[in-house]
Structure 1
Amino acid sequence: MTYPAGEADELDARVVGLFAAINRRYARESEAAANAQDLTPLQAKALLYSAEPVPMRALAQRLHAEPSNLTPLVDRLEERGLVERRPGIEDRRVKQVAATDAGRQKIAELRAAMPFASDPLGALDREQRETLARLLALIAEVP
């Protein structure tokens, strides 16, 4: 469908504004939840991703961080007793990060404090999520 120039500009602005509003809501909620638990937003994300044991490299990828920069972050979580490093099951040279019991309790508290950030697509059914994923992939030029 082709829109007249003025309508397309308005629609584009509306869509981009909605992206920004979603991002702000997500960031506000997740930052407030992290602060309430005396965590930085990045520490909270790392802890959430560590609910199940995860290799350090995979955790770095999820956080869009360099693995070497992740070490001090995991050190701080470990010092607080929220995560532990474990040898990998298949390759003992690979270090995995796993939430401790205290960490899993903190994860539950974080998730309870951030209902939107925990499930930002909760208002969409499976088909709507798949459609949205396809549309966003088109915009991002990702296969």
Structure 2
Amino acid sequence: MTTQAAHPPAPEDQLITELADLVFQVAGRLRQGFNAIAADLDLPPAQALALVNLRGPAPMRDLADLLACDASNVTGIVDGLERRGLVTRRTDPADRRVKHLVLTEEGQRRRDLLGAAAHARAAALFNVPQTDRRQLRDLLTAVAKHEQRLD
């Protein structure tokens, strides 16, 4: 058996690795900040994420799609939000099997607090010149659109 010396990655491969690492670092910082804000509002991260994704009455299956999780997981998340008085379940008049989630007044208040605090943290994280922020937005948009075409 012969061993070969590992070849250094090609410059383009190294660039891709660096880009992926940086995106994960930034996403991790955003997630850590969001989770800290959620904790300050006495919310587990999954409940906070569900809360910020509820814009209006929505079926529980839509929330499962937004959170990219199984509907059975959403039931536990929604149970917790309901116990806290942040959402209510309402039966869809057209299909009594479907439950719509509706934010309570307190749910709306906490969602707004969470959104405002998360925005402030993101603004601090992306504290670079406005032209750089726009360029980063445009580049990430192009990457996201390209990724959608690959799916």
C-alpha displacement of 1:76: 1.4
What code does the residue aligned with 2:146 have?
L
C-alpha displacement of 1:124: 3.7
Q: Secondary structure at the match of 1:51?
A: coil
Q: Please tell me whether residue 90 in structure 1 is matched to residue 90 in structure 2.
A: no
Once superposed, what is the RMSD of the aligned Cα atoms? 2.4
Q: Please tell me whether residue 100 in structure 1 is matched to residue 111 in structure 2.
A: no
Q: Please tell me whether residue 80 in structure 1 is matched to residue 84 in structure 2.
A: yes
Q: 1:90 to 1:124 in 2, by over 3 A?
A: farther
2:67 aligned partner: 63
Q: Please tell me whether residue 18 in structure 1 is matched to residue 29 in structure 2.
A: no
Alignment of 1:27-46 (within 5 A): 27-46=31-50
Contact 1:51 1:107 in 2 (8 A): no
Percent identity of equivalent pairs: 34
Give the structure, 1 or 2, with the largest relative contact order (CA under 8 Å, sep 6 or more). Answer: 1
Q: Secondary structure at the match of 1:98?
A: strand
TM-score by length of 1: 0.80
Q: Please tell me whether residue 49 in structure 1 is matched to residue 53 in structure 2.
A: yes
C-alpha displacement of 1:130: 4.3
From 117, 131, 137, the equivalent of 2:142 is 131
Higher CA-based Rg:
2
What code does the residue aligned with 2:142 have?
T
C-alpha displacement of 1:25: 1.6
C-alpha displacement of 1:63: 1.3
Instruction: Give distance in 2, aligned partners of 1:55 and 1:89.
Output: 12
What code does the residue aligned with 2:145 have?
R
Which of 40-49 and 16-25 deviates more? 16-25
C-alpha displacement of 1:132: 2.8
Which of 96-105 and 60-69 deviates more? 60-69
Q: Secondary structure at the match of 1:92?
A: strand
